[in-house]
Amino acid sequence: MKKFSLVTLIVIVTAFIFTFTLSTPPTAHAKKLTFVTIGTGGVTGVYYPTGGAISKIVNKKRNKYHLKVTVESTGGSVFNVNAVMAGDLEFGIVQSDRQYQAWHGLKEWKDKGPQKDLRAICSFHPESITLVAGDDTGIWKVEDLRGKHVNIGNPGSGQRQNSIDILEYKGIDYKKDLKAEGLKAAEAPKMLQDGRIDAFFYTVGHPSGAIKEATSGRRKVHFVPITGIEGLLKKYPYYAKAFIPIKFYPMASNKKDVPTFGVKATFVTSAKIPAWIVYAITKEVFDNLEDFKKLHPAYSILTKKNMLEGLTAPFHPGALKYFKEVGLIK
Ligand code: GLU
């Protein structure tokens, strides 16, 4: 009797496992997860949380798309364009002006030529060229940077060329007229607070962790207004007037919003990335835009319409399919 029950039990359990395995949709087991990575910027910038916001929204639908989006901290825009073009990263967040330069083969891409596989998806928050200086340095306008110790940005960053553009426009040669550093943005706030640099440039959305860190230490610091730039805006059509909202940085010495110029953060990929992946990411971000916007205060002004502005490279077919489907593009 005892033996019979054991045999029966084994038979029942085996039959159950067999039936259960066969009745489960094979796709749920067989579909392999596809991993894609977004290149962002320093962890105290806004690109890094933006990558995080995209992955959070898209990864919720993992069972639908079998897609997992991960985020990588990088040196910034120029690094991201090059990594996406080399196939090391699938997606990148890049400044609108760097997207323009890469597509046309200018500035950092002068030797490599136009990056014809670059594809646009959408744009995100505005970024402003942010110049922070110690109150004790006597730097109150760009011209005062002469002879000073200034971080203009690491070579992979977007801000490096922005710093060079404004310095040149004001007649300052960064190689001769100041002591230029090429540090990553995440390192600059501590250097400023420690008195090892006088000022730094960072092209970033607001609020950003790096700027909070730079403005809330013991050394009193301020934002340097960047004005008298009409000629610069004429020369470079991708630059526009912008300002730094002071409400985010109550410890900075400035009392009012600070005028400067700016660009937009944009989302790019390569023509080689399959349309279904780009479609899924675009759809999830746009369909859930209200949830997405809650993930960072810099997104408060985003609308589905203005997220299609500031792009130079052609839309990726996966993004275009979605925009046509919902009528954002006719
Ligand atoms: N605009 C910066 C760059 O292109 C990055 C800013 C950020 O990480 O938020 O390098």
Determine the pLDDT at residue 8.
57
Determine the pLDDT at residue 296.
98
Q: What is the pLDDT of residues 76-92, one digit of tens each?
A: 999 999 999 999 999 99
Between 11 and 180, residue with greater pLDDT: 180
Tell me the mean pLDDT in the region 305-316: 98
Whether residues 17 and 111 fall in one domain:
yes
Give the domain CATH number at 247.
3.40.190.10
Cα distance between residue 267 and residue 47, in whole Å: 10
Whether residues 247 and 311 fall in one domain:
no
Tell me the mean pLDDT in the region 49-57: 98
Q: Which of 214, 240, 263 is the last residue of a domain?
A: 263
Ligand 1 within 6 A of CB of 157:
yes
> What average pLDDT is seen over the chain?
93
Distance 157 CA to ligand 1 centre (A): 7
Residue 304: inside a domain, yes or no?
Answer: yes
Whether residues 192 and 214 fall in one domain:
yes
Tell me the mean pLDDT in the region 163-187: 98
Ligand 1 within 6 A of CB of 154:
no
Task: Looking at the CA of residue 98, tell me the nearest atom of ligand 1.
Answer: 4
Residue 330: inside a domain, yes or no?
Answer: no
Whether residues 241 and 300 fall in one domain:
no
Q: What is the DSSP track for 52-115?
A: HHHHHHHHTTHHHH-EEEEEE--S-HHHHHHHHHHTS-SEEEEEHHHHHHHHHT-GGGTTT---
Residue 319: inside a domain, yes or no?
Answer: yes
Ligand 1 within 6 A of CB of 46:
yes
Whether residues 241 and 315 fall in one domain:
no
Nearest CA to ligand 1 atom 6: 204
Whether residues 35 and 46 fall in one domain:
yes
Ligand 1 within 6 A of CB of 41:
yes
Q: How confident is the model at residue 164 (pLDDT cuts 50, 70, 90)?
A: very high
Residue 28: inside a domain, yes or no?
Answer: yes
Residue 32: inside a domain, yes or no?
Answer: yes
Determine the pLDDT at residue 5.
61
Ligand 1 within 6 A of CB of 210:
no
Query: What are the residues whose beta carbons fall under 8 Å from the beta carbon of 60, sequence distance 6 or more?
Result: 284
Whether residues 234 and 172 fall in one domain:
yes
Determine the pLDDT at residue 31.
79
Ligand 1 within 6 A of CB of 126:
no
Per mean pLDDT, which range of 5-19, 133-147, 193-207, 314-328 is the poorest? Answer: 5-19
In testing the pocket of ligand 1, which one of 40, 47, 183, 295 has its CB within 8 Å of the most ligand atoms?
47
Cα distance between residue 225 and residue 243, in whole Å: 9
Cα distance between residue 29 and residue 284, in whole Å: 24
Whether residues 134 and 226 fall in one domain:
yes
Q: How confident is the model at residue 147 (pLDDT cuts 50, 70, 90)?
A: very high
Determine the pLDDT at residue 10.
52
Tell me the mean pLDDT in the region 202-219: 98
Ligand 1 within 6 A of CB of 38:
no
Determine the pLDDT at residue 167.
98
Cα distance between residue 188 and residue 191, in whole Å: 5
Find the domain containing 7 and state its range: 2-125+265-325
Whether residues 206 and 287 fall in one domain:
no
In the chain, the percentage of residues whose pLDDT exceeds 90 is 91
Per mean pLDDT, which range of 6-10, 54-58, 179-183, 292-296 is the poorest? Answer: 6-10
Distance 264 CA to ligand 1 centre (A): 10
Distance 310 CA to ligand 1 centre (A): 16
In the chain, the percentage of residues whose pLDDT exceeds 70 is 91
Q: Which of 215, 245, 263 is the last residue of a domain?
A: 263
Determine the pLDDT at residue 30.
53
Tell me the mean pLDDT in the region 59-65: 97
124 pLDDT exceeds 90? yes
Distance 40 CA to ligand 1 centre (A): 7
Ligand 1 within 6 A of CB of 198:
no
Residue 17: inside a domain, yes or no?
Answer: yes
Tell me the mean pLDDT in the region 184-189: 98
Whether residues 216 and 289 fall in one domain:
no
Whether residues 257 and 135 fall in one domain:
yes
22 pLDDT exceeds 80? no
Tell me the mean pLDDT in the region 193-222: 98
Distance 176 CA to ligand 1 centre (A): 26
Q: What is the pLDDT of residues 234-289, one digit of tens each?
A: 999 999 999 999 999 999 999 999 999 999 999 999 999 999 999 999 999 999 99
224 pLDDT exceeds 90? yes
Whether residues 33 and 72 fall in one domain:
yes
Q: Could you give the number of structural domains in the chain?
A: 2
Burial zone of 53 (CB within 10 Å; 0-12 exposed, 13-18 middle, 19+ buried): buried
Tell me the mean pLDDT in the region 300-329: 98
Ligand 1 within 6 A of CB of 187:
no
Residue 99: inside a domain, yes or no?
Answer: yes
Distance 46 CA to ligand 1 centre (A): 7
Per the CB < 8 A criterion, the answer to whether 261 and 229 are in contact is: yes
Cα distance between residue 48 and residue 43, in whole Å: 5
Distance 187 CA to ligand 1 centre (A): 13
136 pLDDT exceeds 80? yes
Q: What is the pLDDT of residues 101-115, one digit of tens each?
A: 999 999 999 999 999
Peptide bond into 207 cis (omega under 30): yes
Residue 45: inside a domain, yes or no?
Answer: yes
Ligand 1 within 6 A of CB of 47:
yes
Per the CB < 8 A criterion, the answer to whether 147 and 177 are in contact is: yes
Q: Which of 222, 238, 263 is the last residue of a domain?
A: 263
Q: How confident is the model at residue 25 (pLDDT cuts 50, 70, 90)?
A: very low
Beta strand 199-204 with 149-151 is parallel
